[in-house]
Amino acid sequence: MAICEKEWENLHLETYLYRMNDFSILSDTADSFLILKKNGQLAYISEECQRFIGYSVEEIKTMKISDIFQPSSLNEENSYFKEFARDSLCHSDIHIRAKSGELIHVQLTAFPIILHKAIIGSYAVIKEMTHHKEQKFMSEKQAVAGQLAAGIAHEIRNPMTAIKGFLQLMMRDYKGKKASYFEIIKSEIERIELILKELMVLAKPNKVFYKNVNLDSLLEQILTLMRSQALLNDIEIEAAYCFEDASIYGDENQLKQVFINYIKNAIEAMTDGGKILIEGEFLSENQVIIRIVDQGPGIPAEILERISEPFFTTKEQGTGLGMPVSYQIIKEHKGDMLISSSSTGTSVEVVLPRES
């Protein structure tokens, strides 16, 4: 009796799993990995992965890929990873949801299981993001920024204050036809002051005032500020969240700065208009996620890799400090941030702890 292709794949995958003890490429005790069926069902979890995310082999067999990986990282059918080719080796930074509900930032490597020249499933190897990049960022880039900020504060801020003061006196007394030149000078001085301020945040964060901040109220205030700018650019901002008066513990002004920066970036990316979606949900009793999704052209991989580096920018008038400052604020709030991007848009996910 003939069997369909799906049954053939499942039969061979089960046989493959039975012979896992002979598999030498991955060690079941050393590597944290899942085995996926082509329809998105989970078929197996290694011992290390069980310890990592908390699920047993029996639990995994009743689950789908969308139960662990964020929907925003999956294709439309929720059967595989967005922008990944099933027949090749692919890498990405991604969030997974542990059994506890905690969202964990991991490095994902996915590649096919091939038997008799046919793909019968896939491996998903996950490794928790180490602090290596963050430590390197802090020790090299941010240390340099701190040194520069200290020097700039001493060498530039005082004379800049004097220049600005005399300029204001000249603007008050000048009656000629070239007053617009003074406005340009004033504007550039204010831009220098903004750069100095952001440098000082990297070097020595401002004093913060932590309290329980109502999430719905915080986001509504931010959207009220940003909707007018969005409308001027033919962009609609759609809100899809309801936190039911839940709060997070943090500095309200700093949190506003973070989300305004991300929404502003989304607006600037959508030169042809469109829609920005602001989503939010509870990840667990202890975490929330807020997601900003735009319909821009996406961020090239080589830029995405450097997006949190101080002074790196692709904007003509950019300082290259908005993203690293925002990321630092999130880390100080014991949260995390992940950016994923494709040709159809960019998604910024911010994970924050609930109120203390």
Q: 127-159 pLDDT, tens per residue?
A: 876 544 554 554 455 556 666 666 666 577 778
Q: Please say if the pLDDT value at position 296 is more than 90.
A: yes
Mean pLDDT in residue range 261-278: 93
Domains of the chain: 5-128 (3.30.450.20), 132-203 (1.10.287), 210-353 (3.30.565.10)
Cα end-to-end distance, the chain, whole Å: 62
Mean pLDDT in residue range 269-273: 92
Q: Residues near 330 by Cβ (< 8 Å), separated by ≥ 6?
A: 258, 336, 337, 350, 352
Q: What is the pLDDT of residue 159?
A: 82
Q: What is the pLDDT of residue 91?
A: 81
Tens digit of pLDDT for each residue in 191-216?
A: 777 777 666 665 555 567 888 999 99
Mean pLDDT in residue range 291-310: 86
Q: What is the pLDDT of residue 304?
A: 84
Average pLDDT, the chain: 80
Of 23-32, 52-61, 111-120, 255-264, the least confident:
23-32
Q: What is the pLDDT of residue 237?
A: 94
Structure tokens that stand for 176 in this block: 């000629």
- Percent of the chain exceeding pLDDT 90 equals 19
Q: Please say if the pLDDT value at position 240 is more than 60.
A: yes
Of 43-57, 168-182, 290-304, the least confident:
168-182
Mean pLDDT in residue range 28-38: 78
Q: Please say if the pLDDT value at position 218 is more than 60.
A: yes
Report the interhelical angle of 322-332 vs 252-269 (nearest 10°): 140
Question: Rg (Cα) of the chain, in Å, rounded?
Answer: 25
CA distance 197 to 205: 10
Q: What is the pLDDT of residue 144?
A: 62
Q: Are 352 and 337 in contact (CB under 8 A)?
A: no
CA distance 71 to 341: 14
Q: What is the pLDDT of residue 219?
A: 93
| CB-neighbour burial class of residue 327 (10 A; exposed 0-12, middle 13-18, buried 19+) | buried
Structure tokens that stand for 106 in this block: 């991991």
Mean pLDDT in residue range 66-84: 84
Q: What is the pLDDT of residue 307?
A: 81
Q: Please say if the pLDDT value at position 80 is more than 50.
A: yes
CA distance 47 to 52: 9
The whole model's pTM is what?
0.58
The position carrying tokens 């999956």 is: 74
Q: Please say if the pLDDT value at position 277 is more than 80.
A: yes
CA distance 349 to 337: 6
- Higher-confidence residue of 346 and 153: namely 346
Q: Long-range contacts of range 311-319, CB-CB < 8 Å, 24 or more positions apart?
A: 311/145, 315/268, 317/191, 319/194, 319/195, 319/198
| CB-neighbour burial class of residue 139 (10 A; exposed 0-12, middle 13-18, buried 19+) | exposed
Distance (Å) of CA 9 to CA 114, 148, 312, 335: 10, 59, 47, 41
Q: What is the pLDDT of residue 149?
A: 64
Q: Are 93 and 79 in contact (CB under 8 A)?
A: no
| Per-residue confidence band for 348, with pLDDT thresholds at 50, 70 and 90 | very high
Cβ neighbours of 338 (radius 10 Å): 21
Q: Please say if the pLDDT value at position 21 is more than 50.
A: no
CA distance 149 to 198: 9
Tens digit of pLDDT for each residue in 170-189?
A: 888 887 777 788 888 888 88
